[in-house]
Chain A
Amino acid sequence: MAKVLMKGNEAIALAAVKGGCDAFFGYPITPQNEVPEYLSKYMNEHGKVFVQAESEVAAINMVYGAAGAGARVLTSSSSPGIALKQEGITYIAGAQLPCVICSVMRGGPGLGSIQPSQGDYNQATRGGGNGDYHVICFAPETIQETIDTMKEAFDIADYYRNPVMILVDGLIGQMMESVDFDRPVKHRFLPPKDWAATGTKNHPGKRNVINSLYLEPKELEAHNNMLAKKYALVTQNETRYEMINMEDPDYVIVAYGTMSRVARSTIEILKEKKLNVGIIRPISLWPFPKIAFDEIGKNCKGLLVTEMSMGQMIQDVQISNRGRLPIAFYGRSGGIVPEPEELAEAVMNFEKWRVE
């Protein structure tokens, strides 16, 4: 397949299929509607499963059921819809089921807006569901990277038996770019899903139960310890980030998704002002690439965190920075995407945007 011009949300849908998606369950919400629209046609034409659920809550529980039955399952939503799915996400994580969740962020809080935003960083990386669990979260910056990540996501979910979230904002969902669906993807050795509830005839002598209930305190603690070990392994293996122009920078911008694209233009603007600026681009938001911050050159004067929100990732940057460098924050919300010139101004007036 040669390069094609494609809208982000449709590319997400097709990439999921290329990644082996067997089933989609979802509920309409702007700005991700092209994902279910595309799949409603594709899945039916290819003998796969598509159900438009009665709510996000129902959709994520259908995901639980289908994932528990051994399928590769996708759901997709946006901010308030992801909030509703969080009940199901903690059950999925607790029962150690693999699935892929696509989150196309819009403005908040509440009904907020339908314009692009990065206001759901905390929702994605901290989760709103109950208990000690993590969702593996990747935040690509281009439609091409979204496709490549989505194609790999089902393998990662299956490998760790854990939900994987692809987090983009409404801008990436709605814009069009030239993309290639045939770029090679790293495949992992995946054991058979001999734990799935498919009927005992498929695994004689053994009853498979999908469950997250452990009433005995010691059993639940052992379960949580086992999950913690898994999350440590994910942190070790799946932490992803990109260092851009990081040869002895004067300042470092920390940005992900759409904002890292804006920051790339800011580098060029500031070069003309004789300022050398690098970018740390977290790709995995959980696990957060703390180690990237150990690689910053000693002449760096500060970190400018920029987000399309009032500042959420900044907490992870503060943790990773461990008090070494001054930190400033520049963010816009409500659906406004900062211009490269705004970021350049923020770097040049670093003290003005400095945070404690």
Chain B
Amino acid sequence: MELEMKYQKTKGLTDNPLSYCPGCTHGIIHKLVAESLEELGVLDHTVGIASVGCSVFSYQFFNADMEQAAHGRACAVATGVKRIHPDNVVFTYQGDGDLASIGIAETIHAANRGENITVIFVNNAIYGMTGGQMAPTSLIGQKTTTSQSGRNVLQHGNPIKISEMFQHIDGVAYLERVSVFNPKQVRNAKKAIKKAFQYQIEKKGFTMVEILSTCPVNWGKTPVDALKWVEESMVPVFPLQLFKDSGVSHE
């Protein structure tokens, strides 16, 4: 009797071992992005842009052509690629330090130009790679290595809400905030990511999926507690919702 293959690792990922810490949800998000590209049949004409942060090595993990960008500049690099090859699928994979802090100008203007690219925005409210410093998305009261008594509004302002800002930009075709803290949320995240790529293929414009993610090591939590912290502490500040969908009829 021949066995039928029901499930296997996506062809969208290479065999390089991931460099992420135990319990970090970057790995899940990588898988969702890779599966989406594979299922849409676009892997062989995709160019991904790796950013600077924990996902700096994503160019080793996605099984596609990749360009590694300077810190914050992924959307500018993606613009360069997409304008040369408009029929390629081009995506960036960026953390909250890269996108919401040093790269916010590049991201806003790429969105405003309606660059037909997909931005995978991984928000874990901290700088992971550099060792747990405060991010623009760190929560009020959150202790980090540069906010050791907890982030306070007077000194550092409130966590920046990227999706709430970007929903007002005309060039944005699709924008949703999702998470991966339980299997249901993982399935929702997959749907959002796939839809964003589908819209890019249909040349609808700028698409972004913000994904609330964990950083157990720098949060000082177990992987399970980290998932709980996303649900109980991050979601109230960064509500999971569909912000914009140009594909939906507004009749």
On A, residues with C-beta under 8 Å from B are 22-23, 25, 49, 51, 53-55, 57-59, 61-71, 73, 87-88, 91, 95, 197-201, 204, 207-213
Contact = CB atoms under 8 A, between A and B. Distances in A.
Contacts of A51: 79, 83, 113
Given A62-B79, A197-B66, A209-B65, A54 B105 contact: yes
A210 B106 contact: no
17 contacts: A49-B84, A58-B76, A59-B76, A65-B49, A65-B76, A65-B81, A66-B81, A68-B81, A70-B84, A199-B64, A199-B85, A200-B44, A200-B64, A200-B65, A204-B44, A207-B14, A209-B66
Interface stretch (B28-36, B67-75, B195-203): B67-75
Contacts of B47: 69, 197-199
A67 B85 CA distance: 11
Please classify the interface of chain A as helix (H, G, I), strand (E, B), loop, or mixed, using the class held by over half of its residues: mixed
A62 B81 CA distance: 8
Nearest to B69: A61
A71 B85 CA distance: 10
B109 interface: yes
A73 B106 CA distance: 19
B174 interface: no
A73 B77 CA distance: 13
Instruction: With a 10 A CB-CB cut-off, give which of B56, B64, B73, B83 has the most chain A CB atoms.
Output: B83
Nearest to B56: A213
Contacts of A87: 70
B46 interface: yes
A53 B43 CA distance: 29
Contacts, number: 130
B70 A62 contact: no
A57 B73 contact: yes
B68 A71 contact: no
B212 interface: no
A58 B106 contact: yes
Interface string B19-58: 0000000000000000000000001111101000000100
B59 interface: yes
Nearest to B49: A65
Contacts of B88: 69, 198-199
A62 B56 contact: no
A285 B44 CA distance: 42
Contacts of A209: 59-60, 65-68
Nearest to A204: B44
B67 A197 contact: yes
B64 A61 contact: no
Nearest to B88: A199
Contacts of A53: 76, 109
B80 interface: yes
Given A54-B106, A62-B76, A197-B47, A68 B67 contact: yes
A58 B84 contact: no
B48 to A, nearest CB: 9
Given A55-B105, A88-B70, A199-B44, A208 B56 contact: no
A69 B67 CA distance: 9
Contacts of A66: 80-81, 83-84
Which 10 pairs, one residue from A and one from B, show the smallest C-beta to C-beta distance? A65-B80, A199-B45, A66-B80, A61-B76, A65-B77, A61-B73, A201-B44, A197-B65, A62-B80, A54-B109
Given A62-B77, A209-B68, 6 more contacts: A64-B67, A64-B69, A69-B84, A71-B84, A199-B46, A209-B59
Given A61-B106, A200-B65, A22 B43 contact: no
Contacts of A67: 80
Contact of A68 (B45, B70, B80): B80
A201 B81 contact: no
Instruction: With a 10 A CB-CB cut-off, give which of B43, B46, B47, B49 has the most chain A CB atoms.
Output: B47
Nearest to B76: A61
Contacts of A64: 67, 69-70, 73, 76-77, 80
Given A199-B47, A200-B44, A73 B85 contact: no
Instruction: With a 10 A CB-CB cut-off, give which of B65, B85, B109 has the most chain A CB atoms.
Output: B65
B77 A208 contact: no
A25 B68 contact: no
Contacts of B49: 65
A207 B105 contact: no
Interface string B186-221: 000000000000000000000000000000000000
Nearest to A67: B80
Interface in B92-141: 105-106, 108-109, 113
A71 B84 CA distance: 7
A62 B80 CA distance: 4
Given A88-B70, A198-B47, A207-B65, A65 B105 contact: no
